[in-house]
Amino acid sequence: MTYQEAIEQIYRSTKKLKEKGKPAAYIPELSQIDPSKFGVHICPLKEPPFGIGDYQTRFSIQSIAKVFSLSLAYKLKGEKIWERVGVEPSGTKFNSLVQLESDNGIPRNPFINAGALVIADILVSGLKNPKAELLEFVKSMSPSDNIAYSPVVEASEKSVGYRNVALCNFLKSLGNIDNQPEEVLDFYFTLCSLETDCLTLSSLFLPLANDGIAPHSNEKIIRTSYSKRINAIMQTCGFYDESGEFAFRVGLPGKSGVGGGIAAVHPDKYSIAVWSPGLNAKGNSYKGMKFLEEFTTLTELSIF
């Protein structure tokens, strides 16, 4: 069975499922998204790419963008970034404050909000124009430039971002934010407003399936060792407090976002992006999780 045949079969069966998820209601702009949207796109390393459904519809990738900010910070600072953020699953909600004080201001991993704020601070310190340079870096990972910040989503996030403001100020009080919290938060909210479609998103993750090399340009985006470690963190921490469940049922490194997107990679084989805005209780795409579980089961291809 080819990837295309598997995707077509599973897409049809998953699309018929009763929608149990709901769009992210706490971000006004995301709450208006049509929950029936559903798209899938795969970028194999040795087969033609394939997409189905709403795979060319743009959506807000939200926390999936944290993979890009982590990759750039890792490229800039190397192993020093792990002095300021850990690599362990948190076991708590993505916007939790409870562990920071007991952990002396070191977030458990770079994908929870506290960890992503520390990574944002590293980029604000290390780049002359963080927003423009991050976007340039992201675009270098794919042959498509169909990715951009959304001022509307950014404004919507800022309007309700009180907990992130609290997290950033708490981190500052604990000595793990170097810049002014307002500057870090501005960059962080912009980062989370990135928009693209499944077609582009799957191609953006392909370097992580290819030892850090972007196949379209043969450019070494990040070191092979960094790519492997980012995949490891995605495997253990990419789905917040549902990461163990995703590893158990899907068996791929991946990252979700509350916009309903999921990007995942099978090293040396493919990258895949799924979008369905209806979220489960843990904040991950309900149909996206179901689709990827069925996909790795049917193809019998996962890293476990």
Tokens in use for 75? 């490229």
Q: Which residues contact 172 (CB under 8 A, 6 or more apart)?
A: 181
- Cβ atoms of residues 285 and 54 within 8 Å: no
pLDDT string in tens for the chain (304-residue length): 899 999 999 999 999 998 788 998 888 889 889 999 999 999 999 999 999 999 999 999 999 999 999 999 999 999 999 999 999 998 777 777 888 888 999 999 999 999 999 999 999 999 999 999 999 999 999 999 999 999 999 999 999 999 999 999 999 999 999 999 999 999 999 999 999 999 999 999 999 999 999 999 999 999 999 999 999 999 999 998 899 999 999 999 999 999 999 999 999 999 999 999 999 999 999 999 999 999 999 998 887 6
Residue 111, phi then psi, degrees to nearest 5? -105, -20
Q: C-alpha 119: how far from its chain's center? A: 14
DSSP classification of residue 111:
T
Using CA atoms, how far apart are residues 67 and 124, in angstroms rounded to an integer?
A: 16
The DSSP H or E segment spanning 52 is: strand 50-53
Instruction: Count CA within 13 A, CB hemisphere, residue 279.
Output: 21
Q: What is the pLDDT of residue 226?
A: 98
Q: Which residues are catalytic?
A: 63, 66, 188, 240, 258
Q: What is the pLDDT of residue 304?
A: 67
The DSSP H or E segment spanning 183 is: helix 181-191
Residue 87, phi then psi, degrees to nearest 5? -130, 25
β-sheet bridge partners, residue 194: 149
Q: Which of 256, 290, 298 is nearest to 16 (CA)?
A: 290
Tokens in use for 287? 């149909």
E-strand ranges in 86-222 read 148-149, 194-196, 213-214, 219-220
